[in-house]
């Protein structure tokens, strides 16, 4: 593949760097303000800060005083500070834009935000390509004006960019191409300078529509067991085990799913506190809550003998019944019907679990929810690991695998586990960056292109 240079803005732990380096990219400048992320980045790429610039604050480039909004540098001054590069990439923070700037021009609406700093660098350096990433909601209905401002601002600098967002997740990509069993939808903004190659735009248009046709990897074919370690290979194993209280909640609900006499468990959230013959509904309740209360009352009436017995059982060292659990732990969200369609093998012990504010959610081990903060780190059933007896949380090394980050980076104690989960929850997935940008450059393709009738014209100048 032809080599190219790039700068890595809002670099985090280096997801873009890992991806672009693997397809011939050479980093010439990095920018990351978080010191804990900086530790990981510098250890991952020892040249950072020695052979090329490592800038902590992007506003040290775009301003004389990073704290002073009016101290903007000129285009020439920024040009002198930033190395020449082919690609500007980064996962920029999403900040609200001002409506008051609209009377002065679309880019004025972005003043005071970090996206404006990106535009300053683009305007000064004129890279061939811009490749940005953000959360899925940036392209959602609540942020319609923000999305429009982002796209219009980039176009005002004479770049071709999509009207519709490119939304991609690693669980949609074949493992041979760098996919991973994690549902992590992100929006990518891929842009090409108008004098370079309009073909890049059409390739992403086709790619976008290909995704919309659902013609990628079959998500039920994933097996998370290929991405997790056996407990014997996990240092300090005990710190990843669930708490005694969490083990108690899982023991009770495992009994429930194993012993429930019917083949089918409800698809709606199972609320133990709502096991009454008459639903406790008041006029102030939203309709969704009324509906769940009615459904749980009907479920109770149909299975009264079993559920009455279940509610009297005591669990754990504290000898608690289910109605003495915290409110959210009295709720089971059973989403594992594909793994256990009947009662014969039904258990929580071979499933993926999340302790959520909305309840205990259980899913098949085919793919994991998006990595988030440590409080919602996925829990792995013991039957998913050889010789395991207890439930435990995903380790930072395993979470890194789901992001395409090499094992060794989180095998050393450079950062705490709390910081590691936060970093990985905010990171860009290496596999989808590599693949999406490879398609954009024309180096990679997808198996079957959509027909002309299926291709929507999402891109415009």
Q: Are 190 and 128 in contact (CB under 8 A)?
A: no
Exposed e or buried b for every residue in 95-117, given b needs 16+ CB within 10 A?
eebeeebeeeebbebbbebbbbb
Among 27, 89, 94, 205, which one carries the catalytic annotation? Answer: 94
β-pair type (186-193, 270-271) = unpaired
* The residue to which tokens 């953000």 are assigned: 134
Span between the terminal Cα atoms of the chain, in Å: 28
Q: Are 338 and 364 in contact (CB under 8 A)?
A: yes
Q: DSSP readout, 213-243?
A: TT-S--GGG--GGGGS--GGG-TTGGGGBPP
User: Rounded distance, CA 76 to CA 125, Å?
Assistant: 9
Task: Give the angle 41-45-46 at the CA atoms, nearest 5°.
Answer: 110
User: Rounded distance, CA 425 to CA 184, Å?
Assistant: 10
94 catalytic per annotation:
yes
| φ and ψ at residue 95, rounded to 5 degrees | -125, 150
Exposed e or buried b for every residue in 187-223, given b needs 16+ CB within 10 A?
bbbbbbbeeebeebbebbbbbbbbbeeeebbeeeebe
R_g over Cα of the chain: 25
User: Rounded distance, CA 444 to CA 176, Å?
Assistant: 13
Residues classed as catalytic: 94
């Amino acid at each position: 593949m032809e080599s190219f240079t790039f700068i890595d803005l809002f670099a985090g732990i280096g997801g873009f760097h890992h991806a672009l380096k693997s397809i011939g990219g050479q980093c010439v400048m990095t920018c990351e303000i978080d010191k804990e992320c900086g530790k990981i980045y510098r250890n991952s790429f020892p040249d950072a800060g020695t052979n090329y610039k490592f800038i902590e604050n992007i506003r040290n480039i775009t301003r004389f005083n990073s704290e002073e909004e009016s101290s903007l540098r000129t285009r020439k001054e920024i040009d002198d500070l930033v190395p020449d590069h082919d690609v500007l990439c980064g996962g920029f923070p999403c900040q609200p834009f001002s409506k008051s700037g609209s009377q002065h021009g679309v880019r004025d609406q972005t003043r005071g935000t970090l996206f404006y700093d990106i535009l300053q660098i683009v305007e000064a350096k004129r890279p061939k390509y811009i490749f940005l990433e953000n959360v899925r909601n940036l392209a959602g209905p609540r942020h319609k004006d923000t999305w429009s401002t982002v796209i219009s601002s980039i176009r005002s600098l004479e770049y071709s960019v999509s009207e519709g967002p490119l939304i991609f997740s690693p669980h949609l990509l074949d493992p041979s191409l760098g996919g991973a069993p994690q549902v992590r939808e992100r929006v990518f903004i891929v842009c090409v300078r108008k004098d370079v190659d309009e073909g890049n735009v059409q390739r992403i248009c086709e790619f976008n529509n290909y995704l919309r046709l659902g013609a990628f990897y079959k998500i039920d074919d994933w097996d998370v067991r290929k991405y997790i370690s056996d407990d014997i290979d996990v240092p300090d194993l005990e710190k990843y085990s669930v708490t005694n209280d969490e083990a108690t909640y899982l023991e009770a609900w495992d009994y429930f799913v194993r012993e429930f006499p019917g083949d089918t468990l409800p698809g709606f959230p199972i609320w133990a506190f709502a096991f009454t013959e008459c639903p406790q509904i008041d006029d102030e309740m939203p309709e969704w809550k009324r509906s769940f209360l009615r459904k749980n009352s009907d479920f109770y009436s149909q299975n009264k003998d079993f559920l009455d017995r279940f509610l009297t059982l005591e669990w754990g060292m504290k000898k608690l019944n289910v109605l003495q659990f915290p409110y959210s732990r009295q709720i089971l969200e059973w989403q594992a019907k594909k793994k256990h369609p009947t009662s014969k093998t039904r258990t929580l012990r071979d499933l993926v679990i999340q302790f959520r504010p909305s309840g205990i959610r259980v899913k098949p081990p085919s793919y994991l929810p998006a990595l988030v903060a440590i409080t919602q780190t996925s829990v792995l059933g013991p039957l998913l690991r050889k010789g395991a007896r207890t439930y435990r949380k995903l380790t930072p090394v395993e979470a890194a695998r789901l992001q395409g980050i090499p094992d060794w980076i989180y095998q050393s104690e450079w950062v705490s586990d709390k910081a590691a989960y936060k970093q990985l929850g905010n990171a860009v997935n290496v596999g989808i960056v590599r693949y999406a940008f490879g398609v954009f450059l024309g180096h990679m393709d997808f198996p079957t292109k959509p027909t002309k009738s299926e291709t929507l014209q999402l891109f415009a100048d």
